[in-house]
Amino acid sequence: MVDINLTEDCVYEMKNNKAPGYDGICSEHIKYGGAPVLVHLCLLFNAMIAHSFVPSDFCFGIIVPLLKDKHGDATRLAMYRGITLSSSVSKLFESVLVNILVTRFRAVNYSLDSRKIVVAMPFLFSTNQLHRLLHEKW
């Protein structure tokens, strides 16, 4: 399923100098962690896929108000927009899933651009909710 090469490619595509999520892990920690971190992330991602389980922490984000215009009136509420800070590990997992899906769709000759696939947090949340429902029913 998920191999080191795929994970390494996705790590390479992660942007630097971005705010970390609530866990304090930023993309630089993952990038400069080396092979041991990649191996453990591959094991984690494969276990998540094999067991159809997404940790609830992957569905958690911190909403931070961001000023739209530095020169505007900072006292007005309309001058702010919200951004969500989510875990870098969850973003990496999403990127790995997107790459897997794009590869599989291309294997069956679908014309697909990875930027048009929107799976991100709603996908992870729905997978997590489905897992919970299945276990609550049984």
**Residue ranges of domains in the chain:** 4-137
Give 125's contacts (C-beta < 8 A, 6+ positions apart).
59
CA angle 54, 87, 83 (to 5 degrees): 120
Give 115's contacts (C-beta < 8 A, 6+ positions apart).
none
Q: What is the pLDDT of residue 93?
A: 93
* Residue 24 φ/ψ region, left for φ over 0, alpha for ψ in the -120 to 50 degree band, beta for the rest: left
Inform me whether the pLDDT recorded for 120 exceeds 50: no
Helix or strand or coil: residue 31?
A: helix
The tens digit of pLDDT for each residue in 92-111 reads: 999 998 888 777 766 655 55
Min mean pLDDT across 86-95, 105-114, 120-129 is at 120-129
Give 131's contacts (C-beta < 8 A, 6+ positions apart).
52, 53, 54
The tens digit of pLDDT for each residue in 1-57 reads: 789 999 999 999 999 999 898 899 999 999 999 999 999 999 999 999 889 888 988
